[in-house]
Amino acid sequence: MTRIRLRQPVFAVMVVLLLILQLVQPSRTWMFLFTAFSGILISAYLWARSLGESLQLRRETRLGWIQVGGQIEERITLSNTSVLPAAWIQFEDHSTLPGFNASRSTSISAGFFDQWNVTAACKQRGLFYLGDANILTGDPFGIFDVTIHASERTSILVLPQVVTLPEISIVPSGSFGDGQPRRNAPEQTIHASTVREYVHGDSVRMIHWPTTARTNKVFVRLMESAPEGDWWILLDLDKNNLFGEGWDSIEEQSVVLTASLASKGLRNRKAVGLITNSKDAAWIHPQKGEGQRWEILQSLALSQPGELGLDKTLERIQSSLGRHHSLIIVTASTKTDWLKTLLPLVKRGIVPTVLLLDASTFGGKESPALVAANLEGRGIKYHIIPRGMLEAPKTLSHQQGGWKWRSTPTGEIMPIRS
């Protein structure tokens, strides 16, 4: 959309005034001045109109999705196809990605173009937009302004970073409900526990051939039962429990912790699901594979603090969770009321592990000591996560170290050393 605005109305007033004087009192002076001012006014308008029709914008972005700590790069080309030069151009960018500023002042000769690259580090997860810009220009006399609104924009999804976690043990669940492996059990997996000599009735498929060949006796494998069921990760984003700002906040470190746990579980070939009490609550049923990882990270990227408490969340999900699953609760709650709603799940065979973010290290007034004591008294596994336990995201720079960037078939932006 192009809009032309009269910036100096005094020229139009002068033309009208000179025309009136010429009609009332004809004179060569009035006629000369009228012709000169009219010519300048018309020339300025035609010049501005030509620029409004001839300035073209092209934005090329290495897009798709990117994780916190990565960089985004965009190439902007502004060309002037008019036979008249653009003496001044002001490019105003309205991109929403924090730290991304493509605004620029320039001038472009007739038939030429100006091109520049803009890079920005992605320091905040979420859905952002690159684009929606205004191009301001005008005639060299400064009589008319031209505003070209380029409304095209492209979305970019910034996913939470996945970090290397400290040693956090998740209590496994299984068909027996106690989370412990049982040997020579009827429910078997591919994981061999040990071997023993063959006895009548053993399946030939269970013969362990390396041991048999080494000892000249027939040995069979004893298998472990499947101790580990699906993972449900419950992320508590109750806004009343969130303290700190930026990376050093409970909200961000809870999201990163959840993303890292989900990625770890999926790498270990577990079925992982996600529940959040965020502003737009998420419920992703446990599945395996890279597609599940993408869905969980996408949901976490868009998660914002909500108003539903952890106790109410546990009440709502009680009837929906299956039996013998591992429930991993990520919370900074210092209240103990939600423990009452957790116990019925434990009786049903759900095996919980609670990751308590220490609110007192993030600026909160209360510590998780009381919650930890109650969990320990009920025999529920827990870990306390203080501020600084998770590694802060590192920004990759293609300016230092010679990085180039390419997009993978899945849409991720990957750094490649040139």
What is the C-alpha separation between 95 and 133, in angstroms, rounded? Answer: 8
CB 208 within 8 A of CB 245: no
Strand 65-67, strand 144-159: pairing: parallel
pLDDT of res. 139: 94
CB 243 within 8 A of CB 251: no
The full set of domain ranges for the chain reads: 1-160+394-418, 181-226, 231-385
Does residue 263 surpass a pLDDT of 90?
Answer: yes
**Quick one: average pLDDT of 228-241?**
89
Radius of gyration of the chain from its Cα atoms, rounded to whole angstroms: 33
pLDDT of res. 209: 85
The per-residue pLDDT for range 24-48, each reduced to its tens digit, is 989 899 999 999 999 999 999 999 9
pLDDT of res. 61: 83
Does residue 395 surpass a pLDDT of 70?
Answer: no
The per-residue pLDDT for range 123-147, each reduced to its tens digit, is 899 999 998 999 999 999 999 999 9
Weakest-pLDDT range from 131-140, 235-244, 384-393:
384-393
Give the torsion sign (CA, 248, 274, 232, 288).
negative
What is the C-alpha separation between 119 and 75, in angstroms, rounded? Answer: 9
pLDDT of res. 393: 64
Higher pLDDT, 378 or 321: 378
Contact partners, residue 7, CB within 8 Å, separation at least 6:
138, 142, 143, 144, 145
CB 48 within 8 A of CB 145: yes
Does residue 405 surpass a pLDDT of 50?
Answer: no
The per-residue pLDDT for range 333-369, each reduced to its tens digit, is 999 999 999 998 888 888 999 999 999 999 998 999 9
pLDDT classification of 383: cutoffs 50, 70, 90: very high
Class of domain 1-160+394-418 as given by CATH: mainly beta
pLDDT of res. 349: 84
Per-residue tokens: 394: 């590192």
Does residue 404 surpass a pLDDT of 80?
Answer: no
**Quick one: average pLDDT of 295-300?**
94
pLDDT of res. 204: 76
Higher pLDDT, 255 or 196: 255
The per-residue pLDDT for range 171-208, each reduced to its tens digit, is 887 544 444 444 444 334 444 457 778 776 677 777 88
Of the segments 145-159, 170-184, 227-241, 379-393, which one has the largest average pLDDT value?
A: 145-159
Q: Within 13 Å, how many C-alpha atoms sit on residue 24's CB side?
A: 6
Strand 86-93, strand 104-108: pairing: antiparallel
**Quick one: average pLDDT of 273-300?**
93
Higher pLDDT, 227 or 323: 323
What is the C-alpha separation between 235 and 278, in angstroms, rounded? Answer: 8
Does residue 410 surpass a pLDDT of 90?
Answer: no
Give the torsion sign (CA, 307, 68, 275, 291).
positive
**Quick one: average pLDDT of 82-103?**
94
Q: What is the mean pLDDT of the chain?
A: 85
DSSP string computed for 37-106? HHHHHHHHHHHHHHHHHHEEEEEEE--SEEETT-EEEEEEEEEE-SSS-EEEEEEEE---STT----EEE
Q: Which fold has domain 231-385?
A: Rossmann fold (3.40.50)
pLDDT of res. 193: 52
pLDDT of res. 225: 43
CB-based burial label for 94 (10 Å; 0-12, 13-18, 19+): middle
Helix 9-24 and helix 28-54: axis angle, to 10°?
Answer: 150
Does residue 406 surpass a pLDDT of 70?
Answer: no
pLDDT of res. 355: 95
